[in-house]
């Protein structure tokens, strides 16, 4: 158990701003914050291991001649299934074009045809407005460009392989965080005027996920422990088409494949989406995911198939990263369909923030997937996530700069640390089975009963694995509690015992340690 004041440790770091997370939202924020002071960017793994790196689908923005921000706004609201925050959506689509232009000025390279930006169509979009980089490496390219800008700034420093355990407080406000050095196991206080959570997603709390190993919901869990409000955490988007090969990772097969004409087939080679939704394979992700699950159940099959074969070497040229990854495990997408099934992909909810990234805790901001601005509602519109990271990363950091923040503290008390013995794989299987695409009241109650059986104990030397287990348990419990309280079906949340969408639940779920019962506002 660690406790006491910072003098008890061999090292402490003091800066103006701490950014927890090195993805698109964190890097964009670091660039802005560097104008006003010293910035420390902390990453749990390497600086290049984040959900942004794996974002294939693209970034949606109303920049083409046939598009406008009102159409992008309308599509986002429809996909959100009645639960978007209209002001948040208007901010996203309105500020998006300038942010994309800024990315291009900073060196981000988007695919072009004849010198003009190449806009693609994806599911639930009424216009072709999705930009890609190198076909299927959009997140990686944006992260690269932002990192190059941030790394060139003398006020920005980086610390990798440092999992953040908890937030630190002084006089009731957030004044830093405690990081655990991955190599030495040492607890290192990071003292700051303000802290930005940009920790990304939580898909790794599920057994089947497209997310990288680092996406264990750490930001949501530490904000919850600190007393912040958590909102809409029950809405977890499952990507319909993750590669399903036993022994291989659930690699995401981008929605852009379906945008280019890929069809979903059952084991008999029959399309099954045509009668499910007018947009067929391009229906919103929650619709496609549930249709796939139903088709798998009907056939007693572990997967369905995604087929874009028969067009020469189209896939190899248009989606080189996807094609090469599948080829490594013996699937040539230009010649054969790929087995696919849904996998946890994106969290619409998270740490509640206003439009400036402010959480309910003084001194703490959040941006990107860890935050819940209400921009995605109950079901995220494809390719809005990278845009959210850029737009709200910039907004949150500007607000931090404008805030009258006190100097970093000289010393603070550190929290004790407790670990929870158990198997993280058991936790992830529980989440997928009882808190997944289709839920029931009985199943959610069973999940909460089983989660309550995990006991905590003091830990002398906190580790990344222990931190991730604790975060996974916390996040699964929050999902189960909020899903149990939402007695309806909406967007990515489907209750078999409450199949209808109800007006009384057209509100955002809210939960905090201070108000332990789930409220709807």
Separation of first and last alpha carbons in the chain: 38
Catalytic hit among 140, 285, 358, 473: 285
DSSP 269: S
Three-state SS sequence of 55-93: CCCCEECCCCCCCCHHHHHHHHHHHCCCCCCHHHHHHHH
CB 263 within 8 A of CB 311: no
Encoded tokens for 313? 């070497």
β-partners of residue 116 are 113
355: Cα separation from own chain's centroid:
18
- Sign of the torsion angle spanned by Cα atoms 372, 377, 378, 379: negative
SS3 149: helix
CA-CA distance, 184 to 348, in Å (whole number)?
Answer: 35
Instruction: Single out the residue of 373, 377, 301 nearest to residue 339, CA to CA.
Output: 301
CA-CA distance, 55 to 239, in Å (whole number)?
Answer: 12
Sheet arrangement for strand 350-352: 371-372, 350-352, 230-231, 509-511, 519-520
CA-CA distance, 313 to 333, in Å (whole number)?
Answer: 9
Q: Which residues contact 430 (CB under 8 A, 6 or more apart)?
A: 447, 450, 451, 476
Encoded tokens for 385? 């996530």
Q: Which residues contact 492 (CB under 8 A, 6 or more apart)?
A: 235, 236, 237, 238, 285, 286, 348, 378, 379
Q: Could you confirm whether 285 is annotated as catalytic?
A: yes
Main-chain dihedrals φ then ψ at residue 238, nearest 5 degrees = -100, 125
27: Cα separation from own chain's centroid:
15
| Catalytic residue positions, numbered | 285
């Amino acid at each position: 158990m660690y406790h006491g004041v910072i003098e008890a440790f061999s090292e402490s770091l003091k800066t103006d701003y701490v950014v927890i997370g090195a993805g698109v939202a964190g890097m964009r924020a670091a660039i802005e914050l560097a104008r006003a002071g010293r910035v420390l960017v902390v990453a749990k793994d390497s600086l290049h291991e984040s959900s942004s790196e794996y974002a294939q689908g693209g970034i949606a923005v109303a920049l083409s001649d046939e598009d406008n921000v009102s159409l992008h706004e309308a599509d986002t609201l429809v996909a959100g299934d009645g639960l978007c925050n209209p002001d948040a959506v208007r901010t996203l689509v309105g500020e998006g074009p300038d942010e994309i232009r800024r990315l291009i000025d900073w060196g981000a390279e988007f695919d072009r045809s004849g010198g003009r930006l190449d806009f693609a169509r994806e599911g639930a979009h009424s216009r072709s407005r999705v930009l890609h980089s190198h076909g299927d490496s959009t997140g990686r390219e944006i992260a690269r460009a932002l990192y190059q800008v941030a790394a060139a700034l003398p006020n920005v420093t980086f610390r990798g392989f440092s999992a953040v355990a908890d937030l630190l407080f002084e006089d009731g406000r957030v004044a830093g965080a405690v990081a655990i050095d991955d190599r030495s196991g040492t607890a290192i206080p990071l003292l700051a005027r303000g802290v930005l959570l940009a920790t990304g997603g939580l898909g790794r709390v599920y057994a089947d996920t497209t997310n990288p190993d680092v996406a264990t919901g750490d930001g949501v869990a530490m904000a919850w422990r600190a007393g912040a409000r958590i909102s809409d955490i029950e809405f977890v988007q499952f990507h319909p088409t993750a590669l399903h090969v036993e022994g291989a990772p659930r690699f995401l097969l981008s929605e852009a494949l379906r945008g280019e004409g890929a069809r979903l087939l059952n084991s008999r080679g029959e399309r099954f989406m045509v009668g499910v939704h007018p947009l067929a394979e391009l229906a919103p992700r929650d619709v496609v995911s549930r249709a796939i699950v139903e088709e798998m159940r009907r056939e007693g099959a572990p997967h369905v198939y995604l087929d874009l074969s028969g067009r020469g070497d189209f896939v190899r040229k248009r989606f080189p990263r996807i094609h090469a990854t599948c080829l490594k495990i013996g699937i040539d997408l230009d010649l054969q369909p790929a087995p696919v099934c849904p996998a946890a992909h994106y969290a619409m909810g998270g740490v509640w923030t206003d439009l400036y990234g402010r959480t309910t805790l003084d001194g703490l901001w959040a941006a990107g997937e860890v935050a819940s601005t209400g921009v995605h509602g109950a079901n995220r519109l494809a390719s809005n996530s990278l845009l959210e990271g850029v737009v709200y990363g910039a907004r949150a950091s500007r607000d931090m700069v404008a805030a009258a923040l006190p100097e970093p503290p000289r010393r603070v008390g550190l929290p004790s640390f407790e670990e929870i013995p158990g198997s993280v794989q058991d936790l992830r299987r529980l989440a997928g089975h009882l808190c997944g695409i289709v839920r029931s009241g009985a199943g959610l109650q069973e999940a909460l009963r089983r989660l309550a059986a995990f006991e905590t104990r003091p830990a002398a030397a906190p580790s990344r694995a222990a931190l991730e287990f604790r975060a996974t348990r916390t996040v699964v419990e929050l999902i189960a509690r909020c899903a149990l309280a939402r007695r309806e079906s909406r967007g990515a949340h489907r209750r078999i015992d409450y199949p209808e969408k109800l007006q009384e639940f057209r509100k955002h779920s809210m939960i905090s340690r201070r108000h332990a019962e789930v409220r709807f506002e």
